[in-house]
Structure formats: structure tokens, C-alpha cells
């Protein structure tokens, strides 16, 4: 990256564009969302968030000496897409903050609806957490001054798919970190999801122009030089089909890690989506949840081998023990349930997968698709990995094997997989009370970095960055 930070756009133009974009987003029901080209991608990303949030809530509880209440800050909360996660996590207090006023209002409406339902459930001991809602630019306003209780402390802060907006300038990134970290209890966690700077630059440098993507996502960089992307203000325009269409900023993770140190934060997790998916799919919680959340495009098969047909318009209650074979692209493994199928796989990475699915589901589309079903992907290459996985269920001579002919392959289309793998999950732990350094001092240190951003992560990235950060 170049040593100079990019000039920040005039005042609040970009901030206003982001706020206007999210304020204009209309609330849509499940039936409408099911029609979206990225229905499964959104569910997949939601599953990733669920696993991350669940992991750290469990860790917080395991590290508590007693059954203490858990307080959470949902930073850049949007319309409250994670409210149910907080309910299932049995937290005690939630503060939601976001720049988009309409989104905050919708979040509060959702919460009040949950509260009404919870009152009816209280006879079963189901109390809902308390909550407050704040409309503020988390990159420019100190949230601590806006809390109803100024001495509020958090066990967990979550910032999902939003932290990158703060890297427009060092001052904004520092304020976002201050909001995330200054009210964390020692031992508390700051978790999130954000685009992977190494993956973005890798794809940028592989593209003939300053744009890359497919029919699901499109990214266009506004920097004039692929080899010198600024530490802050590295702007690109991100388009995700029907969901996002606004400017974002590259988050150089070693810079984030170094800046977080002044708030007493130590990196606990930094992992690409593909790796985190592979890890969490092999857990009992992950296997069960990915089916319930419809996070992959797939068919379901019951224990007797006959297909289960579910209506696409009317939601039907159905309970089934199902076998699903998952792939996401050619690099993902085939996960097979060998205990019932008696199949063997020469791939040493093949793993056992069994999902039990309960509840309400719209139609889950299979691969291969039935004659009257259209798959989400529009290109034949979108399902090349699924084709290979499906072939593994057939006999060598190509004829149907009666034991396997009703099995279907669960997958994301290639285009969706390319979109979701631009992200990473991350987590920081607060190990001590911080001694806050002035933003100006941080800026002086960070702007001493002259190393261009490589398209690949190297083990010595952080060491090189830290050495140059310390030069004054």
C-alpha cells in the first residue's frame, strides 16, 4: 500500500450515499426473498454469522465465573437481521446502532413484535432481552455518549458486513474501533465479517481492467493504480444483486490489528469464509443449522429414499431425516453420509454428513433439477462441481443405482460462491483496560507504511507492518 491516505470525499457525500441506500431498502417477506437470485447466498451468509455469534456467546459463558448477564452491542445493526440470534443466544441486554434511520426504526419494530410474542411465552420462562436503539454514524459519533446508561459495559460487540465503511479515513476507522472496543469488558469480544483485502486485490490484479465479478456481484475499484492501494480511502463500488449498490473501502487487516492494540485488543480469529465454512460444517450445530436455514441449493431425501416435495408458495410443515451432498465449487469436498448409502469415496477429504431438518421450508431446489424447476445459476459452469458430486452417486457404467437415484446434490452456484468468498470472519479479545492513544499519533505511525499490498497473505505481513508502524 502507498504511504499516503486517500483524500476523503467532500464531507458527508459518501456517508449520505450509504445511508440513503440502506434507508431505501424495502422490507420483503420470505416469499419475495425466495424469488431472489441470491436467496441461497444470503442464507449462507446468515448461517456464517449464526455460527460466529453462537461460537463466541458460548465462549463468553464458558469463561464466566457465574451466570452473569450478557450485554451486546450490535454495531451497524441494519433492520435487525440478527435479533433472533440474540434471542436464541439468551442475552440480557442489546444496544442496536446504525447510520440508516429507517433501518433502525424497522429494527425497533421487529424487536417490539418479538417482545409481544415473548410476553405470551413468559409462562414458559421465555423472557426477551431489553434493547435500545440509536441512529448514528458509528464512524463519526462516539456511541458511549448516546447510551441511556453511560457506564454500560459489553461482553460482546458484533459488526456484520459493515466495518469496511469505516476505512474511508483513519479518523473514521479509529472512531469505529473506539465504539467497538472502549466499552467492552476485559475478556469481552469484538466479532465481525468484512471483505478480505488480500482476496479483493488478488482478483483485481487478475482482471484486465479495474472491474471484476459475475452476474451476482460486481466490484469496481476507483484507485488509479492496482499496485498501490491506499491504506485508507481505498474505495471500490460494490454491487450485490438486489441488496447492495454503494461505495465501500478496503480494510487492510494488519492496519486494523495494529490500531486495535491501543484499545487493549488482541486478535483471536481471522479466517476466510471458505475455511470457516469447512470447519463449522463438521460440527453438530453447523450441520443441523445449515439445513434449517436453507443455506445451500439442494433437494431433500427422506429415510426411505423417496423424494419430498414442498410447495414454493405455501409453506408446509415437514419433518424429515435427510441425506444431502454438499459442494460449493470445485475446491470443496464431497461430504457423504456413508453409514446408510454404503458408498465409498477415494477422496481422502470425504467426510460424513447427516442433517436432520425440521420446521417450515419453501421448496428447496435440487441438482440435478426436476424438469419443471429452474436453478438459480444461469450459466452451465455454475454447477460443474455439483455435476461431479452427483456422478459419485451413480454406478460406474452410468446407470442409476436404486439406492442412490433419489439423492440430490446441495450446492451454491459458482457465481454465488465467488461472491461469498471475498469475505473473512474475525474476532478480537479485550485482554486489558486500554490506554487510549490520540488519533493524530496513530495517523503519524500508520502513514509511515510504504509497503504495497500483496495479493497474497504472508506470515511476515504483520511483522513488517508493525516494524514500519513503529518508525517515527
Q: Which residues are annotated as a binding site?
A: 45-46, 49, 76, 98, 137, 160, 165
Q: What is the DSSP letter of 334?
A: P
Spell out the residues 6+ positions from residue 185 whose beta carbon is closer than 8 angstroms to its own: 153, 154, 155, 430
CA dist 369 and 373 (Å) reads 6
Which residues are annotated as part of the binding site for S-adenosyl-L-methionine? 49, 76, 98, 137, 160, 165
Evaluate whether 354 touches 323 at the Cβ level (below 8 Å): yes
From the list 140, 148, 155, 126, the residue with the least C-alpha distance to 64 is 155
CA dist 391 and 345 (Å) reads 12
Spell out the residues 6+ positions from residue 190 whose beta carbon is closer than 8 angstroms to its own: 156, 157, 159, 180, 181, 184, 260, 265, 427, 428, 430
Residue 163, sorted as left (phi over 0), alpha (psi -120 to 50) or beta, turns out to be alpha
User: Helix, strand, coil proportions of the chain in percent (round to 5)?
Assistant: 35, 20, 45
CA dist 309 and 318 (Å) reads 10
Please give the helix or strand (H or E) that residue 440 lies within, else none. helix 439-446
The HSE-up count of residue 100 (CA atoms within 13 Å, CB side) is 20
> How far, in Å, are 44, 83, 142, 231, 293 from residue 48 at the CA level?
6, 15, 29, 27, 11
CA dist 325 and 408 (Å) reads 7
SS3 66: coil
CA dist 259 and 170 (Å) reads 9
Please give the helix or strand (H or E) that residue 411 lies within, else none. strand 409-411
Please give the helix or strand (H or E) that residue 131 lies within, else none. strand 130-135
CA dist 326 and 334 (Å) reads 6
Whether a cis peptide bond, with omega within 30° of 0, leads into 342 is: no
From the list 466, 430, 424, 414, the residue with the least C-alpha distance to 445 is 466
Which residues are annotated as part of the binding site for mRNA? 45-46
Amino acid at each position: 500500500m502507498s504511504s499516503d491516505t486517500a483524500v476523503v470525499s467532500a464531507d458527508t457525500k459518501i456517508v449520505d450515499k450509504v445511508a440513503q441506500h440502506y434507508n431505501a431498502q424495502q422490507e420483503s417477506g420470505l416469499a419475495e426473498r425466495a424469488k431472489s437470485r441470491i436467496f441461497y447466498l444470503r442464507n449462507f451468509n446468515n448461517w456464517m454469522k449464526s455460527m460466529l455469534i453462537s461460537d463466541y456467546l458460548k465462549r463468553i459463558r464458558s469463561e464466566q465465573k457465574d451466570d452473569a448477564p450478557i450485554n451486546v452491542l450490535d454495531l451497524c445493526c441494519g433492520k435487525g437481521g440478527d435479533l433472533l440470534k440474540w434471542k436464541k443466544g439468551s442475552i440480557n441486554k442489546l444496544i442496536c446502532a446504525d447510520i440508516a434511520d429507517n433501518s433502525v426504526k424497522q429494527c425497533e419494530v421487529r424487536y417490539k413484535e418479538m417482545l409481544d410474542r415473548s410476553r405470551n411465552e413468559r409462562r414458559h420462562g421465555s423472557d426477551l432481552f431489553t434493547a435500545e436503539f440509536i441512529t448514528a454514524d458509528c464512524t463519526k459519533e462516539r456511541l458511549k455518549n448516546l447510551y441511556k446508561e453511560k457506564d454500560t459495559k459489553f461482553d460482546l460487540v458484533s459488526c456484520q458486513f459493515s466495518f469496511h465503511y469505516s476505512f474511508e479515513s483513519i479518523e473514521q476507522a479509529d472512531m469505529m474501533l473506539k465504539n467497538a472496543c472502549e466499552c467492552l469488558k476485559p475478556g469481552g469480544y469484538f466479532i465481525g465479517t468484512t471483505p478480505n483485502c488480500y482476496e479483493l486485490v488478488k482478483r483485481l490484479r487478475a482482471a484486465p481492467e479495474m472491474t471484476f465479478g459475475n452476474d451476482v456481484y460486481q466490484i469496481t475499484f476507483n484507485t488509479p493504480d492496482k499496485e498501490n492501494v491506499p491504506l485508507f480511502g481505498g474505495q471500490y463500488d460494490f454491487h450485490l444483486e438486489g441488496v447492495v449498490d454503494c461505495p465501500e473501502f478496503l480494510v487492510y487487516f494488519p492496519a486494523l490489528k495494529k490500531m486495535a492494540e491501543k484499545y487493549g485488543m488482541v486478535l483471536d480469529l481471522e479466517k476466510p469464509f471458505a475455511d470457516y465454512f469447512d470447519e463449522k460444517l463438521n460440527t453438530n450445530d453447523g450441520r443441523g443449522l445449515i439445513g434449517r436455514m436453507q443455506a445451500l441449493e439442494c433437494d431433500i431425501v427422506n429415510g426411505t429414499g423417496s423424494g419430498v416435495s414442498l410447495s414454493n408458495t405455501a409453506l408446509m410443515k415437514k419433518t424429515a431425516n435427510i441425506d444431502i451432498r454438499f459442494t460449493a465449487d470445485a475446491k470443496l469436498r464431497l461430504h457423504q453420509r456413508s453409514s446408510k448409502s454404503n458408498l465409498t469415496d477415494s477422496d481422502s477429504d470425504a467426510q460424513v454428513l447427516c442433517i436432520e431438518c425440521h420446521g417450515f421450508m419453501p421448496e428447496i431446489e435440487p441438482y440435478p433439477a426436476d424438469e419443471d424447476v429452474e436453478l438459480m445459476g444461469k450459466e452451465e459452469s455454475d454447477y460443474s462441481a455439483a455435476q461431479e458430486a452427483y456422478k459419485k452417486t451413480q454406478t460406474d457404467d452410468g446407470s442409476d443405482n436404486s439406492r442412490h437415484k433419489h439423492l440430490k446434490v446441495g450446492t451454491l452456484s459458482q457465481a454465488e460462491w465467488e461472491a461469498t468468498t471475498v469475505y473473512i470472519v474475525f474476532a478480537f479479545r479485550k485482554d486489558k483496560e486500554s490506554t487510549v492513544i490520540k488519533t493524530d499519533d496513530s495517523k503519524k505511525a500508520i502513514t509511515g507504511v510504504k509497503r504495497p499490498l500483496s495479493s497474497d497473505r504472508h506470515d511476515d505481513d504483520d511483522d513488517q507492518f508493525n516494524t514500519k508502524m513503529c518508525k517515527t
